[in-house]
Structure 1
Amino acid sequence: MINQIIAFSYAIFMLLPSTAQSRDISARDVVLQVKSCKFRFQDTLESLITTPRKENDFQSAGYSAVVHIASMEKTFGFNFSCHSQFRDENEVAADYGGYLKPGQSKWISAFPGASPDEVSRLRKVTKTLPLISRNGRGFYTIQDETVGEPARRVRHFSYCLFHKAQAICGDGEVKRLADTKSDMLPYALSILRNIEFIDSPSASTKPTNP
């Protein structure tokens, strides 16, 4: 998951403008369609939204924004991927760092492909919490880097929102750990909590966990 986040984050920051000016941004209604998932959200940030394109085989869209804090520009970004035709949420969630405990409706952290030693190390710097949007439910996971130069370490972010037989998931970066004023998680969550799935006439019911 981390390799995917690093690759996406590099693409997001390359898309951001090198300079930005402070200005009031009126809320705009954004409607996106990624594969079979159609959804909308209200955006009030100085953002750049990329729609599915040939370069990513039309598999995902992207969101990046500039936030002004204490006369400084902070940036963050994440992507939107669509999943459907799954038997239960965990088929999708594990790839984004979450696992729904059967019968408990509680999301916990997942570490697919990690060795026992890696899980022991990562569990200390990983949190998974519930995420609720206008008509979707799911989770988000944050995970701090523990290797590499301390000044370059970041907080990774991933999420999934489920609605009936569809899921919107993604990942990105929300903080540079060395910068105490760079936590962009509240801004990312404000966008995700505002998401509303737009049902199509053929939308089916939510899959049931076994």
Structure 2
Amino acid sequence: MKLTAFFCSLLLVAMTAKAEMSTSKSTSSVTEAKYYLIGQCRFAINSLGGGAFTADNRSEPSAGAYTGLLATDDPEFTIFCYPGASDDEISDQLGAKKINGKWVWLGTGEPFESAQHFKIFAFSGKNWTGQAVTYDDTTGDEAMRQRRFSFCLLQTGGSQVLCGTSSVMPLGYPKSNVLPKIMAVLRSIEFVNLPSPADANAASDTAAPNE
């Protein structure tokens, strides 16, 4: 009888420990995503890929920076908020625009050269669609030339737009390409709608102490 009671107590301890571990795991998964605010854009980054993201609303314009990139001339990529950006404004951020059937580099106002290996592509996340371009440096010290990457994420059914740019690969070291890592971080972004002024006022009134 005593032996049976002993085994029952062991089983109860094991079940309790398992439940606590499950609760801890569930809590960590819920709190894993962190929300960021840049200007009028609010979003979560669900996977930082071992890097870190910092939002700075004291700068002008407000910006965010992801750090954790290696083998590029700039160890971070920056993100800015352009709410309600027009097609022309998005083209400006990408640095490329299709004119008369040809993609023009806005840096020179001339069509991209074949040596720049220009590419434009679309991608998407949970509640946004994205546009991006890559092209190679063709001037400057050959040892320092990079592949450049620019992108814009457009909220589905909303006005939030995030755009950014980064170097992704020294042209002499293609194995050091960090574009897949950047893309993985970007694809994990999820926009969160900002409360309307009416909602904010209602929340403020609800939170105010009774007089």
TM range (shorter): 0.5 to 0.7
Taking structure 1 as reference, are residues 45 and 74 closer, same or farther at Cα in structure 2, changes over 3 Å only? farther
C-alpha displacement at 1:199, in angstroms? 1.1
Instruction: Say whether 1:38 aligns with 2:42.
Output: yes
Runs of 4+ in 1 over 3 A off after TM superposition: 73-76, 98-101
C-alpha displacement at 1:123, in angstroms? 7.5
Normalising by structure 2, report the TM-score: 0.66
**2:94 — aligned with what?**
96
- Identity of counterpart residues, as a percentage? 25
1:12-27 matches, within 5 Å, as: none
Instruction: Say whether 1:187 aligns with 2:181.
Output: yes
**1:129 — aligned with what?**
121
**Letter of the aligned partner of 1:131 in structure 2?**
F
Higher share of residues assigned strand? 1
* Unmatched runs of 5 consecutive residues or more in structure 1: 1-25, 67-72, 102-107, 204-210
**2:19 — aligned with what?**
none
Aligned length: 162
Normalising by structure 1, report the TM-score: 0.66
Distance 1:125 1:175 in 2: 13
Aligned partner (choices 147, 151, 156) of residue 155 of structure 1: 147
Which is greater in Rg?
A: 2
1:45-124 matches, within 5 Å, as: 45-54=49-58, 56-57=59-60, 59-66=62-69, 74=71, 76-86=75-85, 88-99=86-97, 109-116=103-110, 119-121=111-113, 124=116
**Letter of the aligned partner of 2:82 in structure 1?**
H
Aligned partner (choices 166, 172, 175) of residue 172 of structure 1: 166
Instruction: Say whether 1:139 aligns with 2:139.
Output: no
**Letter of the aligned partner of 2:131 in structure 1?**
F
Q: Secondary structure at the match of 1:51?
A: strand
Higher share of residues assigned helix? 2
Kindly provide the CA deviation profile for residues 42-81 of structure 1, in whole angstroms up to 9, marking residues without a partner as x: 2242313221143x32511100114xxxxxx646421110
